[in-house]
Amino acid sequence: MATIRPFKGLRVAPALAPRVATPPYDTLSGTEARELAEGKPYSFLLIDRPDIEFPDNYDPYDETVYTLGRENLDRFMGNKTFIQDSQPCFYLYRLTMNGRKQTGLVALTSVEEYDNGIVKKHEHTRPEKVKDRANHIIACRAQVSPVLSTFKQDPTIAEIFRKISASKSVVDFRSDDDVNHEFWVVNDIETIKALIEAFAKLPLLYIADGHHRCEAASDVARQMRDENPRHTGDEPYNYFLNGLFADSGLHIMPYNRVIRDTNGLTPEALLERVKEKFDLKLSSVAVAPTKPHQFGLYCEKQWYLLNAKEGSFDANHHTKSIDAAILADNLISPVLGIHNQRTDKRIDFVGGIRGTAELVRLVDSGDFSLAFSLYPTSIEQLLRVADAGEVMPPKSTWFEPKLRSGLIVHLLAE
């Protein structure tokens, strides 16, 4: 069963939501975060990314950085930017992008169920990123941005969502990326009970985006449990902030790649190596793949269309048939010499929301030598990998639209 729990959310004052809410902390570089928060005293990045208030050469993992995050959270609470509900609630969150709506429930989910695999993961985490979020949670005594998780479509839950969203939302604004955000407070006891019972019938939840936040919450729970001689299992630190959306409503965009060098190969030699596992054609336009196992390659101001050759990958394997794995196994690793995409500084990743124009810009700038555009992974592929207990290739899913941070916070001392 999937356990969800209402909580006394610390939520943004509705009138201030457009000025407070920001993209997730991990979708922005330091430079982008600084530019986005500049001159904006209500920006939630001051809490979620307090490193932006320090010089560029300052250690972003220094204790003083996390302390400033807590001080900013206290300031937002003191000036009524945030208000706390007096009783445990759920929160319905709807995002509308290009006319497509996705509606989910913001709730607390169980750290124990995450540890035991009821909340399933599909990615490896990096220790330094987990430690960063754990330190942030401990300093702020709060989880400040939700994980994005999914569940297999359920008609009972969909009907409850429909009834809640038939009423007027408490927050309704359009963000600067042209996404509309609506937020409802669910404080009716019967509706809360119905949601708990409906989710309890789900066998599993699946993390879609936010593995480091989940692992950090788990680490913090273990630490606080060990330090608490009166631990009961009911404390707020035993749960983490989660946005729960049905699989049918989520939208995955491509996660493209840029490479800094050609591993010593001339452009001609590189193309010859590419032809070993891919059918290759010149393209007069930017290549945004239109079907699985199709790729775009941009190099030397020229686009090429690549199609993986039959037999070059295991079409029946949950993971190896995913396009990010096909590209890695047949080209990025054997030809370009990048064997660990999580740690190799020669490769970087570009969310599909930025389009192929961003790939052209990065390569033409001289910072990178070539770029690959990919076809998006499907939500069905993600669920199959998670169900099989396997791990997705690195950076293979880019969910869009992103949940905004700053709408709701889970305090560890309610």
Task: Write the pLDDT tens digit of every residue in 343-389.
Answer: 899 999 998 888 999 999 999 999 999 999 999 999 999 999 999 88
**Do 213 and 350 have their domain in common?**
no
**Do 195 and 173 have their domain in common?**
yes
**Do 34 and 170 have their domain in common?**
yes
User: What pTM was computed for the model?
Assistant: 0.91
Question: What residues contact 182, with CB distance under 8 A and at least 6 apart?
Answer: 93, 94, 95, 96, 165, 169, 171, 172
Confidence of residue 194 (pLDDT cuts 50, 70, 90): very high
Establish how many alpha carbons lie within 13 A of residue 365's alpha carbon, considering only the half-sphere containing its beta carbon: 12
**Do 213 and 309 have their domain in common?**
no
**Do 279 and 314 have their domain in common?**
yes
With contact defined as beta carbons under 8 Å apart, do 409 and 106 qualify?
A: no
**Do 260 and 300 have their domain in common?**
yes
Q: What value does the mean pLDDT take over residues 5-27?
A: 96
Does 386 reside within a domain? no
Rounded Cα distance, 336 and 197, in Å: 51
Does 387 reside within a domain? no
Does 154 reside within a domain? yes
Q: Single out the residue of 140, 91, 90, 129 nearest to residue 214, CA to CA.
A: 129
Domain count, the chain: 2
**What is the dihedral angle through the alpha carbons of 133, 227, 205, 253, rounded to the nearest 10 degrees?**
0
Q: Across-strand partners of 185? A: 91
Question: What residues contact 156, with CB distance under 8 A and at least 6 apart?
Answer: 198, 201
Does 312 reside within a domain? yes
Domain containing 351: what range?
A: 255-375
Rounded Cα distance, 225 and 219, in Å: 10
**Do 228 and 263 have their domain in common?**
no
Q: Single out the residue of 333, 293, 364, 115 nearest to residue 221, CA to CA.
A: 115
**Do 182 and 286 have their domain in common?**
no
pLDDT over threshold 90, residue 414: no
**Do 239 and 349 have their domain in common?**
no
Does 58 reside within a domain? yes
Does 173 reside within a domain? yes
Confidence of residue 1 (pLDDT cuts 50, 70, 90): confident
